[in-house]
A and B are shown apart, each in its own frame.
Chain A
Amino acid sequence: AQTVTQSQPEMSVQEAETVTLSCTYDTSESDYYLFWYKQPPSRQMILVIRQEAYKQQNATENRFSVNFQKAAKSFSLKISDSQLGDAAMYFCAYRDTYSGGGADGLTFGKGTHLIIQP
């Protein structure tokens, strides 16, 4: 079974600074998807960024970028120019590629609580 590990229960960063959240995973598959989700107090999971394992290029979405190291099974999230609205729980998640007939469920890590200091 796949596992996702987030070793940082909580991270704190000054507004406008850069912070990196860590994630490692374990799988025997060669093709899969990795995600970072943001969960604010409203509880709704919001997709931050997604990476396909077959793509060597790291995904980027505005201030959010990932460092995907496939051999090391590492998938970290970098948030640049941190803003107060970035404060939330961040979850790393894994999914196998489609096995036919729809997407499998996601396997989540335990999350990192990101605090933004004004």
Chain B
Amino acid sequence: AQSVTQLDSHVSVSEGTPVLLRCNYSSSYSPSLFWYVQHPNKGLQLLLKYTSAATLVKGINGFEAEFKKSETSFHLTKPSAHMSDAAEYFCVVSDAAYKYIFGTGTRLKVLA
């Protein structure tokens, strides 16, 4: 059975400092993994996805994530936070056509 755990419900960083949002997953098969971002009162937007190609995945707005099978992790990073990065972030695992399991979300706060 699939599951996904976002290890932090809230993360605060100062503008210009690195961002790390942590995600661990469990899957019986080779999963696809996604990170989505949701700004207030908006729908979800895809940041990046891993589908068994390169383990280091680059996404939009300077975000990237590394798939580590041995650690069952897919952490999201960004070298330098911007105020516009303040949002909620969701890690998602999928190992079947219609099955997407969402984490409970991490709310990122960026301090000036």
Is B a genuine binding partner of A?
no
